[in-house]
Structure 1
Amino acid sequence: MSGQGFHVHGPHDHAVEHAAHGSDGFSNNIAVMTAILATVGAAFGYLGGATQNDAALFKNNAAIDKTEAANRWNYYQAKSAKQNLAELAITLPGVDPKRYETEVARYKQEKEDIKKDAEKWEESSKEWNHKSDEAMHKHHQWALATTAEQIAISLAAITLLTRKKWMMGLAYGVAGVGIALGVMAWLGGH
C-alpha cells in the first residue's frame, strides 16, 4: 500500500522481488510462472466480465421485446372488445346489420395482423433470453478458468515460501486446468 512514499509489501511480493534479484533458478521459475498466470487470469477475468455484460444486455432486450408483445396483446384485446360490441349491435332491433357486419370483418382482420405482430415480439423475446442464458453459461466458464488461475498463483506463492517441488507441480497442474477451462470457454463461443 503506497502513501507518502511509504510502501508495505506482502510476503509474496517480497519473495517474488527477492527472487527476481537473485540467481536462484527455482525462485526465478516461480516468479515468471506467477507473472504469466496473473496475465492469463486477468485476460480470463476480462472475458468473463464481458460475457456477463452481454448477458445483461440480452436480458434487457428480452424484457423490452416482452413489453412490446404485451402492448400488442392489449391492443388485440381492445380490438376484440370493439368486435364484440359490433357483433352485439347487429342483434339490436332497428339497426342496419350490414354496417356492423363490415366493422366485425374489419376488426377480425385487424386482430389477425396484431396477433402476428405480438407473436413476433414474443419470439424475439425468447431468442434474447436464450442468448442471455448462453452468455451467462460462458461467463461461468470464464469465472471457473479465472478462479483456477488464482488458485495456481496462490499455490505458486506457497511453493516459493516452502520451496517444495511437489507444490510447484501442483501449481502447474491447477494452472493447466485453468488454461484448459479457458480454452473450452473460448472454443464454446467461436
Structure 2
Amino acid sequence: MSSGGFHVHGPHDHELEHAAQHEPRGLAGQLAVITAILATVGAFFSYMGGATQANAALYKNDAAIRKTEASNQWNYYQAKSSKQSLAELAFDLTPNDEQKSKYKDKIARYEKEKNEIKLAAEKLEEASRHFDELSSEQMHMHHRWAQATTALQISIALAAITLLTRRRWLEVGTLAVGAIGIALGGAAWLHF
C-alpha cells in the first residue's frame, strides 16, 4: 500500500521479486521456443511417418495383385500343359499319319504358348518381389519416422517437466532427447 510516500510490499510482491532474482533468466521463454520448434519438426516427422506407412501398404497391395496375376498365368500354363499332354497321347495313339500331323502341330503350338505364358508369369512374379521390396523399404522408413516422432514427443514432455520444476539440468535433457529425435528423422530422410 502507498500512502503519503510510504510504500508497503505485500507477500505477493515479495515473491515475484524473489522469483525474478533467482529464476534462471528466460527459462520459460526458452522452453516455449524449444517446444514450438520440437512440435513443428515433430508434426513434419509424423506426416512423413504416415506417408511412408501408406506407401508401404500400397506397394504391398501392388505385390499381392501381381502375385495373383502370376498365379493366374501359372494356372493358364498348367491348362496348356494338360492340353499338350492330351495332344501327345492322341499323337501316340493315332495310327493315321494325317491325324498325327494335326496333333504334332497342336503339340508345337501348345509348347510355344506355354513358353510365352511362362515368361509372362515370371515377369509378374518379379514385379511382385519388387513391390514387396519397396514395401519393406517404406516400412523401415516408417519405423524411423515413428522413432523420431516419439523422441520429439518425449523431449516436449521433458520441456514441460523442466518448466514445472524449474530445473535447468532438465533443459539439457530436453535438448539431448530432441537432438536424438532430429538425428533419427535425419536417418529416415537419408533412408538409413
**Aligned equivalents of 2:26 and 2:171: distance in 1?**
13
Q: Does 1:37 align with 2:48?
A: no
Distance in 2 (CA, whole Å) between partners of 1:62 and 1:125 is 4
1:184 paired residue number: 187
2:128 aligns with 125
Letter in 2 for 1:156: A
- The CA RMSD measured in Å over matched residues stands at 1.1
What's the CA shift for 1:73? 0.4
Cα distance in 2 for partners of 1:162, 1:93 equals 98
- Give the letter aligned to residue 75 of structure 2: N
What aligned pairs does 1:1-190 form with structure 2 within 5 A after superposition? 25-95=26-96, 96-188=99-191
Query: Normalized against structure 1, the TM-score is what?
Result: 0.85
TM-aligned CA deviation for residue 48 of structure 1: 0.4
- Number of residue-to-residue matches in the alignment: 166
SS at match of 1:91: helix
Deviation, 1:187, is 1.3
Give 1:184 deviation, angstroms. Answer: 1.0
Quote the offset at 1:160 in angstroms.
Answer: 0.2
**1:18 alignment partner in structure 2:** none
For 1:103 and 1:123, the matched residues in 2 are separated by: 30
How much has 1:91 moved relative to structure 2?
A: 1.8
Distance of 2:161 and 2:94 partners within structure 1: 94
The unaligned stretches of length 5 or more in structure 1 are 1-23
- Report the CA distance between 1:94 and its aligned residue: 4.1
TM-score with structure 2 setting the length: 0.84
Q: CA deviation at 1:35?
A: 1.0
> Take 1:141 and 1:180, find their aligned partners in 2: how far apart are those partners?
10
SS in 2 for 1:188: coil
Measured after TM superposition, the shift of residue 93 of structure 1 is 4.0
CA offset at residue 181 of structure 1? 0.6
**What code does the residue aligned with 1:81 have?**
S
Task: Name the CA distance, whole Å, in 2 between partners of 1:73 and 1:158.
Answer: 62
Report SS of the residue matched to 2:190. helix
Report deviation, 1:188.
Answer: 1.5
The answer to whether the Cα contact below 8 Å between 2:94 and 2:100 also exists between their aligned partners in 1 is: no
In structure 2, give the amino acid aligned to 1:35.
Answer: A
d(CA) in 1 for partners of 2:28, 2:124: 60
- In structure 2, how many angstroms separate the alpha carbons of the residues matched to 1:93 and 1:34? 87
